[in-house]
Amino acid sequence: MPIDYEADPAVSNLRNYLRIRSVHPNVNYDGCIAYLRAQAAEIGLSVSVCEPLPKKPILVMTWEGTEPSLPSILLNSHMDVVPVFEKSWTHPPFEAHLVDGMIYGRGAQDMKSVAVQYIEAVRRLKANGIRLKRTLHLSFVPDEEIGGATGMGEFVKTEDFRKLNVGFALDEGIASPTDEYQIFSGERTIWHLKIDCPGKSGHGSLLLPDNNGEKIRYMIDRLMDLRAESKKQLADHPDWNIGDVTSVNLTMLSGGIQNNVVPELLTASFDIRIALSVDQKQFEDTIKRWCVEAGNGVSYSFEQRDPYVVPTKLDASNPFWVAFKAASDELKISLKQCTFPGGTDSRYLRELGIPAIGFSPMNRTVPGLHEHDEHLSAQVYLRGIQLYEKIIPAVANV
């Protein structure tokens, strides 16, 4: 007999959260805050809300532990979701349709499902009379999808965050298409690189010297060569994923005023995600050298330049990892350790020396982050709650 997911309160809870249009640009977070306050009240968790920046609220639910002086556990999620092209969706992105056991909606994977899995797991633990040694905080932050600088990036600078006394954090991961669950201990470094190529302006019929077209071609060729090397590395190592290599993408080209006028400036912008194995000083030195080789006046700048952040150790030196792994072994689930290919709020925590693991408990699920028809199996979602019921006490009782 098929399972009636429509009647499952945990499924209904997720669908209600997905219906809140916390979508960029210009997100209004009032709906999320009201929803989360109601959830905390139902479960019996205290709530605090701070606004390091106007209209950028951070809500924290707290379940005090039996030894509250110990460093706490943070379960982090972001409230915002990326924009949608509604005409390209089979099911409206903010109606949370449930079709053949699949929940459709923007945020179904990234990452409202994880937020509600935290909530539902805590609800069950409290209902069963469980007490945790360490205090547990559930944080819900804004603006992760636009880099997090105005969300978690500001939150970690506040006295409100310092008072949480965070010793370990869980944050988002990515769905896995296999039986394994992916966990992420670190992230590649984001550099948004801009290359400016000046040159002699003049009539489009001439072969003028100091040509910026030649300069920009040189820079694009060098960076695309690097892209090709990374593609080859992935092809040569089938067990690697995109997080193991440096990715380079040409994302913007600009310059020129008219087709028969050679412009005085051409600009190319690149999205670069630097692998953890790359020496970043050497990498920048290479870019400097390429600019010199490209020709007179070629320069580079950064529209975003994140620092290198040391990954969280996944070994015996990290007791939270030991507890996480032991709980996973007890659950008989297989874990695959990876480097996160994009950026998450975890990097702001790791910069402070707080160990953080990215984990979205979704296996047998094709990743659909930012895609049309983003969806998640109700069965996988409910199984994730069960996993957190084991994992949360394990790390909170370290």
- Domains along the sequence of the chain with CATH: 5-187+311-396 (3.40.630.10), 189-275+277-305 (3.30.70.360)
Identify the active-site residue in 144, 145, 187, 345: 144
Looking at residue 104, its pLDDT comes to: 98
Q: CB burial class (10 A; 0-12, 13-18, 19+) of residue 146?
A: middle
Low-confidence ranges of the chain (pLDDT < 50): none
Instruction: Quickly count: other Cβ atoms within 10 Å of residue 111's Cβ.
Output: 25
Residues 59-103 have pLDDT tens digits of 999 999 999 999 999 999 999 999 999 999 999 999 999 999 999
Structure tokens at 212: 């910026």
| Single pTM value for the model | 0.92
Structure tokens at 373: 């028809």
Matching residue, tokens 């409910």: 382
Q: What's the rounded Cα separation, in Å, for the pair 297 and 218?
A: 13
Q: What's the rounded Cα separation, in Å, for the pair 139 and 119?
A: 11
Q: What's the rounded Cα separation, in Å, for the pair 85 and 325?
A: 39
Instruction: Quickly count: other Cβ atoms within 10 Å of residue 391's Cβ.
Output: 25
Looking at residue 2, its pLDDT comes to: 74
DSSP-assigned beta bridge partners for residue 61 = 47, 138
Q: What's the rounded Cα separation, in Å, for the pair 387 and 77?
A: 17
Looking at residue 248, its pLDDT comes to: 98
Task: Clarify whether 80 is annotated catalytic.
Answer: yes
Looking at residue 1, its pLDDT comes to: 64
Residue 310 backbone zone (phi > 0: left; psi -120 to 50: alpha; other: beta): beta
CA 312, 318, 321, 325 torsion-angle sign: positive
Q: What's the rounded Cα separation, in Å, for the pair 84 and 176?
A: 23
Identify the active-site residue in 80, 145, 154, 172: 80
Name the residue among 191, 205, 63 with its Cα closest to residue 135. Answer: 63
